[in-house]
Structure 1
Amino acid sequence: MNEDKDQAARAPANDVGDAAVGEFPDEGAATVSPEERVEALEQELAEAKDRLLRALAETENVRRRAQREREDTLKYAISNFARDLLSPVDNLRRALDSVKEAEIDDPRAKSLLDGVAATERELLATFERHGLKRIDPKGERFDHNFHQAIFEAERPGAAPGTIIEVLQPGYVLHDRLLRPAMVGIAKAGSPPAEDSASDEET
């Protein structure tokens, strides 16, 4: 009985001690002020906004790239087909160049030649409607982006680097080279020989 009374007497003291511990937190524990909490949230929000903007920019870049690729696919879809048509057109031109109209006496032969010329014109007009254009650069400056030099020769009155002959015309599809023009270009002439009389004087 005496032991029970002693325990009952000590119990309130323990409760008071426990309450005291709860009322006074550890002084070493970190405390965050409302201002610091707001600042941390604002920083997190700014970082999330930056990530979102970067993701949106990347998505837009992907969309534009895909759109550009689709446009290029449609724009140059006929490249292989157009390239295969160049040889027949070249043959039409060779046929026309091989015969001089003034030398044709037979009206039927002349009519046939006119038909070949009309066919060539119609084909070239069809090419242009689809963005395919012929390069016939005689008299122009040589441009390695569109021309392929086959030979060089001296040509009086022609500046060096000028195209003096087109062996085979080139073609571009829109802004893309389909076939370079094969050309001959003028080169600088040999320096004039010194006069023998002037040599003797010197």
Structure 2
Amino acid sequence: MSIMKEQEHQEEHMPKEEQDQQQSPQDAAEPMENIESVEVSEEDPRIAELQKALDDSQRQVEKLREDLVRYAADFENFRKQKEREARVAGERAVENLMREILPVVDDVDRVMQHSAATLSNSDQARPFVEGVELLRKNLMNWLDKKGVKKIEAQGQKMDVNFHEAITQLDHPDAEPDTVIEEYQAGYMLGEKVLRHSKVVVSK
């Protein structure tokens, strides 16, 4: 029997496991090549398209989020501006109302200064004087509740922030630039001057 026939005879009677182990390297590499070809085939173009669509969606979501934050900030600024405008308008309305009432206060003060001493000596006029005093008291209480305060002037150092000098006079008992007479009372609304006190100042 020739050598080739003897090898064929041996392979025919060799167990299958040993035959598999004796396969050539080329035959063993074929399954790996098939696996790689399968993996490559899984790189479907649709995956890239889906990834691109996902990235686009994420960018759109981020843009919408930024827009929402900006709109919320704009709305908050708008709300604060309207609140500020409403507050300023309310303060201006109160300020104008107080200025309109001040002449009434002046009239009541003049009645008290020039007529009270004379009328109080008359029994018939006393109820009138008491009525005027009560009116002034109630009026000043109302102004006080609204935040209106009388500016102190008599005997104070002249202050252009609160006083308006209408004239200057020599006064032996007063230091220079001292208020020696109040011609018209001044008032403040909170920290704001409604009307400066008109005063006479010593030289």
TM range (shorter): 0.5 to 0.7
Distance 1:56-1:156 versus aligned 2 partners, 3 A rule: farther
Whether 1:180 aligns to 2:196 is: yes
Report how far residue 62 of structure 1 moved. Answer: 4.8
Equivalent runs, 1:54-69 vs 2, <5 Å: 61-69=77-85
Deviation digits for residues 161-196 of structure 1, max 9, x if unmatched? 211110000122222222111001111xxxxxxxxx
Tell me, in whole angstroms, the C-alpha distance in 1 between the residues paired with 2:153 and 2:69: 50
Equivalent in the alignment of 1:93? 109
Alpha-carbon distance, 1:147 to partner: 1.4
Q: Distance in 2 between matches of 1:51 and 1:123?
A: 55
Q: Say whether the 8 Å CA contact 2:119–2:125 is kept in structure 1.
A: no
Percent identity of the aligned residues? 31
2:151 corresponds to 1:113 = no
Aligned with 1:143 (options 150, 154, 159): 159
User: What's the offset of the Cα at 1:149?
Assistant: 0.6
Contiguous gaps of at least 5 residues in structure 2: 1-61
Code of the residue aligned with 1:141 in structure 2: it is K
Higher helix share: 2
TM-score (norm 2): 0.58
Deviations 1:99-138 (A, max 9, x none): 3537743212122112111111110110111122222411
- Structure 1 or 2, whichever has the larger Rg, is 2
Give the TM-score, by structure 1 length: 0.59
**Corresponding residue of 1:21:** none
Q: Which structure 1 segments of 5+ residues have no match?
A: 1-44, 188-202
The correspondence for 1:153, drawn from 150, 156, 169, is 169
Deviations 1:25-83 (A, max 9, x none): xxxxxxxxxxxxxxxxxxxx9xxx99998887776555444322222222332222222
